[in-house]
């Protein structure tokens, strides 16, 4: 297990560079409106091209919304999904766990190397982000490694619990597959092959071994905010139905034209906006995602930044009306 000190010493440094040369993601109709909000959030802060592997419904909405410099590839459909789920992963991998599909759709997650290939066919590097990551400020780190990964269990904002980290990393991996940078075109072959032959948890756990092959650096803790960051704050369920300020006071976080945590200002939020869609897929709703959602929308509503005002307007006009978030921030979405 990497020490916290070693992780911090290998983090990307802040800088004024414009970010990666391109972004890429995967979206299908089941996560359609989360994906549209993700694309919109990237475009608010970055002009780089965005490459999307998707289905026909998603491509139609991308065109309808008029996103600029977004390129799509239609490869998600029932037939191709079946080849992945019931072909490659029907006993084809020794450690494949059939429970994987209950939590996340492996037929989409296995395509992450494909969309990275799509982006690298036109660019020298790219940043893959999940379709439920929403930027609230530019990514300004200096991308100066072959591969960039986010060590999720080591990046929460209280003192490290080494036993908890060891257990989580053994089961899920050191890094999340939700945010992966690379400038190596052979990285995708390695990622794809180790997902099939070596990983014990989706396309993610195998990333723990990427630094045996590539020069790897890490995203700083503030590059994304996710439910792991509530680790160490105790039972947060009592903060679901009370004013958002109480949850902020409990964590020591502050809203001031952005969300400020102990490690600094958050660059992106990672959570499911469409909780009803999560339930429809048969997955469990993480109650902490509701709290993150309330913080996120409250921050947008309270912000004086034009980008945040635009994001909230886009949410009201296009996202809120098409999803079932199960819990809303009335004072935020009606602002």
Q: How far apart are CA 97 and CA 115, in angstroms?
A: 24
Beta bridge partners of 181: 127, 148
In tens, the pLDDT along 141-168 reads 999 999 999 999 988 887 667 888 988 8
Q: How far apart are CA 34 and CA 14, in angstroms?
A: 28
At residue 180, what are phi and psi to the nearest 5 degrees? -135, 125
Domain covering 4-221, topology = Spore Coat Polysaccharide Biosynthesis Protein SpsA; Chain A (3.90.550)
Residue with tokens 């200096």: 142
Q: How far apart are CA 89 and CA 235, in angstroms?
A: 36
> Residue 141 in contact with residue 223, Cβ under 8 Å?
yes
Q: What is the pLDDT along the chain (335 residues), one digit of tens a residue?
A: 888 899 999 999 998 877 899 999 999 999 999 999 999 999 999 999 999 999 999 999 999 999 999 999 999 999 999 999 888 876 445 556 667 776 788 899 999 999 999 999 999 999 999 999 999 999 999 999 999 999 999 888 876 678 889 888 988 999 999 999 999 999 999 999 999 988 889 999 999 999 999 999 999 999 999 988 998 899 999 998 899 999 999 999 999 999 999 999 999 999 999 887 777 776 777 888 889 999 999 999 999 999 999 999 999 999 999 997 654 444 444 44
Sign of CA dihedral 174, 180, 182, 184: positive
Q: How far apart are CA 119 and CA 122, in angstroms?
A: 6
Domain ranges across the chain: 4-221, 227-333
Return the number of other C-beta atoms located less than 10 Å from residue 86's C-beta.
12
Confidence (pLDDT) at 96: 62
Confidence (pLDDT) at 329: 40
Crossing angle of helices 112-120 and 187-197, rounded to 10°: 170
Q: How far apart are CA 177 and CA 109, in angstroms?
A: 9
Sequential DSSP letters for 270-307: ES-S-HHHHHHTTPPP-HHHHHHHHHHHHHHHH---HH
Confidence (pLDDT) at 332: 47
Q: How far apart are CA 272 and CA 126, in angstroms?
A: 23
């Amino acid at each position: 297990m990497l020490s916290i000190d070693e992780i911090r010493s290998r983090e990307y440094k802040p800088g004024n560079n414009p970010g990666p040369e391109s972004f890429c993601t995967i979206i299908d109709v089941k996560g359609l409106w989360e994906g549209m909000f993700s694309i919109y959030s990237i475009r608010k802060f970055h002009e780089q091209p965005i490459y999307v592997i998707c289905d026909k419904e998603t491509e139609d909405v991308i065109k309808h919304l008029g996103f600029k410099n977004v390129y799509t590839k239609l490869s998600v459909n029932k037939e191709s999904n079946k080849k992945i789920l019931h072909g490659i992963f029907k006993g084809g991998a020794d450690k494949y766990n059939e429970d994987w599909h209950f939590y996340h759709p492996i037929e989409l997650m296995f395509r992450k190397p494909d969309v990275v290939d799509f982006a690298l066919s036109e660019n020298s590097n790219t940043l893959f982000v999940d379709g439920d990551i929403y930027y609230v400020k530019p990514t300004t780190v200096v991308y100066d490694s072959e591969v960039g990964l986010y060590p999720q269990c080591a990046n929460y904002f209280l003192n490290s619990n080494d036993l908890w980290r060891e257990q989580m990393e053994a089961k899920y991996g050191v890094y999340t597959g939700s945010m992966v940078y690379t400038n190596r075109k052979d990285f995708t072959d390695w990622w794809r092959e180790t997902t099939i032959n070596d990983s014990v948890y989706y396309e993610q756990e195998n990333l723990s071994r990427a630094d045996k092959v590539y020069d790897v650096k890490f995203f700083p803790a503030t590059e994304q905010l996710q439910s792991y960051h509530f680790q160490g704050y105790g039972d947060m369920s009592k903060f679901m139905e009370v004013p958002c300020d109480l949850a902020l006071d409990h964590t020591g976080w502050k809203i001031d034209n952005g969300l400020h945590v102990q490690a600094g200002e958050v660059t992106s939020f990672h959570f499911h906006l469409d909780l009803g869609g999560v339930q429809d897929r048969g997955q469990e709703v993480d109650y902490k995602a509701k709290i993150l959602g309330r913080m996120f929308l409250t921050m947008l509503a309270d912000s004086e930044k034009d980008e945040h005002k635009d994001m909230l307007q886009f949410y009201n006009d296009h996202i809120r009306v098409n999803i079932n978030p199960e819990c809303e921030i009335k004072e935020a979405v009606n602002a």
